[in-house]
Structure 1
Amino acid sequence: MPILILSGGFMTSKNDVHCAIAGLGRIGVSLESDPLREKPASHMGAIDYNRTAQLVAGSDPDENKRIAFKSLLPDCAVYANTELMVEEIKPHILHIASITDSHIPILKMALSAGVPMVVCEKPLSNSLEEARALLPLIDSSDSVVLVNHERRFSRDYREVRGLIRDKAFGELLSINARLYMGKTRPVSQILYHDGTHMLDILRFLTDENLEILHSEGEPYRKGGQLIVLARGGSVPIVLDVSGGRDHLVFELDLSFEKGRIRIGNGVYELWSSQESPYYTGFRSLSCTSSGWKGRTAYFSSMMNHAIELLNNPGRKCESSYGDGLKVLELIDEILGAYPQEQNQDSSLEKTPSSSVV
């Protein structure tokens, strides 16, 4: 008997695609309660929002998170052990929203169990070697793995990609990108968190693999700064990843022959070249559009794509395991130029393997 899930103020019966979530923390569940975020903002919310998906179970080794999840969805099964959940529930889609160290072990288990569709949070792993080691199983499996690089599915970024491809402002000539996350977090941690989104969206917008040319900074110092020079095809890229701020900035500034686009968290601007109102015989940029109108649908569009892939075997995944692996390779190349300082400030989030599944 299908469970009933509150969706958009109405009770709807949904039983087509059964989904389960491994990891009931922020991105799995609790970000849905943030009153300022666009909804859906979590895997739970994206499943609920989708007309054909039904959330049937969730798992987490943390008892408090299980209790909180059960209070939200009392009709859902709740497990401490993800492997047992997959064995008993047999979901069509498994959402891996647990801490990073558990991603690859859970993914390996899911592929071995024959879960048809797996949505995995980024980054795939804290270890490039661990992620590469799973490739033979990925390649031999009939399961599909979608990595949640959410900006690939966001309407504003997809529109910008279309403008680039259509040469609406002429050729794309350069990109300046900025990622700031707090005062004390070292760049090494920032890269493995929102840095994965930044590197991936640069690949997505340029439609090229990135080439790292040079970097300068202190990626392992608390509040440090790192400037990375890269290239996406013929497009030069300057990326500033830094701490030292009391605010979050995720922003790209794209320069064209005849215009400019700024896009990022809370930012969407189109600038066109026009006859200058300031200097005779020159042209200046004028902002012709500011602010994205309506929902970006970043999470719901990702979920729609997961359902599409599930229903259409062989269709190309728009955010594949290979895409997630490319991002890890870029991070490894950037940080590989610097000797890692042996201190806790530069360590990544870890968890005992015994609590993974």
Structure 2
Amino acid sequence: MKRSKIKTLLIGLGRICSDLERDPFRKKPCTHMGVLQSDWGRKRFEFVLGLDSQAEKSEVFQSFWNADTKTVPPDPKKTSLPKGIDLAVISTPSAFHEEWALHCIRAEIPNLLIEKPVALSQAGAKRIQTLAKKYKTKIWINHERRYHPSYRFVKDQLTKGNFGKLKSIRASVFTSAKNPGLAFSKLGGGPLLHDGTHAVDLIHWILGKPKIVDAKLEIPKNGTIESRAVAWFESKTGVEVFLDVSGGRDYFQFELDLHTDTHRIFCSNDGFAFFKSEPSPLYKGFRSLVSYVPKQFPKPEISNAFIGIYEEIFQVVSGKKHTLEGTISDNIEILNLIESIYRRKQ
């Protein structure tokens, strides 16, 4: 399909859709509406309407963006969707992703961008996949780090062998139950499903689907949601992966620490660091890891994951590209990995 601008519907007008754009520390745009209203986005996308089941969120969104909104019933089936929509963005709480996705597909909206996790379960994701195949709907899931230029650079260099042979990955996602968002609510699942999905997605993206070796959950007494999940995976090529997701920290930290036979690559929300093997300045006859910056590493000013995913949507919807990053099939496997950890309750 070729079109000058992609008519876009936003469903769920809260944090990731709009609110984070008011965070003075975040690089902009950092929300869905932020992209649509950016100079880049206005040339490619046309915002049509925003929907939310909470009148207060609709009003705040409308006031901040001077944009049309509508307060709708919590049940998607009771909402009539506008005609002529090219793209629906589903950024509701996680528990409602599946229902809204199915409703949009049945309404014959041809392209969906769904916030992670795509559904609360592998079975739910499969229901979306089955209906999407019937209606030929294209689906993106917003694991945004896949579209971040710095993460894409690391994956590309690993694939080309420029960082050596990958040996192990340590992934950690630490959040705080004092400021939990949805990570400790019935609407979002535990920190593994809500926040750890980003780390599991990157592991899957880099390695393909690994097999679980061992895992354990820490669940507080009288609780139903884990405070911590620890897992050990192994890839088909023998790469060992160690995952630690905890909601019991007084800070937020996302880290991916990759070790090859010649390099160490550290990726985190605090930035990236690269180390390579050089003759050791500390021990005669040994080699040490020495810090350096690869020449082709993207400059910070061009690194924006939200622009990345919308650029791919624009390219695909415009007919300039025919492959999608992070398919619904990938996300079914990601949910399968997460569920394999949950099945090992202790």
The question of a shared fold, defined as TM-score above 0.5 by the shorter chain, is answered with: yes
2:244 — aligned with what?
240
3-state SS in 1 of match to 2:333: helix
2:58 to 66, 79, 88: 66
What is the CA-CA distance between 1:101 and the residue it aligns to? 1.5
Q: How far apart, CA to CA, are the structure 1 residues paired with 2:216 and 2:77? A: 43
What is the CA-CA distance between 1:263 and the residue it aligns to? 0.3
Percentage identity across paired residues of the two chains: 27
Residue 275 of structure 1 pairs with residue 287 of structure 2: no
What is the CA-CA distance between 1:212 and the residue it aligns to? 1.0
Q: How far apart, CA to CA, are the structure 2 residues paired with 1:248 and 1:87? A: 37
Contact 2:276-2:291 within 8 A present in 1 as well: yes
TM-score normalised by L of structure 1: 0.84
Q: How far apart, CA to CA, are the structure 2 residues paired with 1:181 and 1:334? A: 18
What is the CA-CA distance between 1:295 and the residue it aligns to? 3.6
The residue type paired with residue 18 of structure 1 is K
Q: How far apart, CA to CA, are the structure 2 residues paired with 1:137 and 1:183? A: 36
1:337 to 314, 321, 344: 344
Contact 1:21-1:57 within 8 A present in 2 as well: yes
Q: How far apart, CA to CA, are the structure 1 residues paired with 2:113 and 2:274? A: 33
Cα separation, partners in 2 of 1:295 and 1:37, compared to 1, 3 Å: farther
Q: How far apart, CA to CA, are the structure 1 residues paired with 2:229 and 2:149? A: 29
RMSD: 2.4
Residue 25 of structure 1 pairs with residue 14 of structure 2: yes
The residue correspondences of 1:88-167 to structure 2 (distance < 5 A) are: 88-167=82-161
Contact 2:6-2:45 within 8 A present in 1 as well: yes
Of 306-315 and 229-238, more deviation after overlay is shown by 306-315
1:228 — aligned with what?
231
Cα separation, partners in 2 of 1:77 and 1:224, compared to 1, 3 Å: closer
2:218 — aligned with what?
218
Contact 2:259-2:265 within 8 A present in 1 as well: yes
The residue correspondences of 1:311-330 to structure 2 (distance < 5 A) are: 311-312=318-319, 315-330=322-337
1:301 — aligned with what?
308
Q: How far apart, CA to CA, are the structure 1 residues paired with 2:93 and 2:317? A: 25
Contact 1:79-1:85 within 8 A present in 2 as well: no
Q: How far apart, CA to CA, are the structure 1 residues paired with 2:301 and 2:235? A: 30
2:255 — aligned with what?
251
Q: Unpaired runs of 5+ in structure 1?
A: 1-13, 340-357
1:171 — aligned with what?
165
What is the CA-CA distance between 1:16 and the residue it aligns to? 1.7
1:39 — aligned with what?
28
1:182 to 176, 185, 198: 176
3-state SS in 2 of match to 1:246: strand
Cα separation, partners in 2 of 1:332 and 1:106, compared to 1, 3 Å: same
3-state SS in 2 of match to 1:247: strand
The residue type paired with residue 53 of structure 2 is P
The residue type paired with residue 192 of structure 1 is L
Q: How far apart, CA to CA, are the structure 1 residues paired with 2:4 and 2:45? A: 7
Cα separation, partners in 2 of 1:83 and 1:15, compared to 1, 3 Å: farther
3-state SS in 2 of match to 1:87: coil
3-state SS in 2 of match to 1:19: strand
Contact 1:15-1:54 within 8 A present in 2 as well: no
2:37 — aligned with what?
48
3-state SS in 2 of match to 1:308: helix
3-state SS in 2 of match to 1:134: helix
The residue type paired with residue 52 of structure 2 is D
Cα separation, partners in 2 of 1:16 and 1:224, compared to 1, 3 Å: closer
3-state SS in 2 of match to 1:245: strand
Contact 1:119-1:147 within 8 A present in 2 as well: yes
3-state SS in 1 of match to 2:212: strand
TM-score normalised by L of structure 2: 0.87
- Paired positions, count: 325
3-state SS in 2 of match to 1:180: strand
Q: How far apart, CA to CA, are the structure 2 residues paired with 1:211 and 1:302? A: 28
What is the CA-CA distance between 1:86 and the residue it aligns to? 5.9
Q: Deviations over 1:94-133 (max 9, x none)?
A: 0000011111111111111110111000111223322223
What is the CA-CA distance between 1:313 and the residue it aligns to? 8.5
Q: How far apart, CA to CA, are the structure 2 residues paired with 1:43 and 1:132? A: 25
3-state SS in 2 of match to 1:110: helix
3-state SS in 2 of match to 1:199: helix
Q: Deviations over 1:239-283 (max 9, x none)?
A: 111233101111011111111100011220010111100000000
Q: How far apart, CA to CA, are the structure 2 residues paired with 1:300 and 1:216? A: 37
1:310 — aligned with what?
317
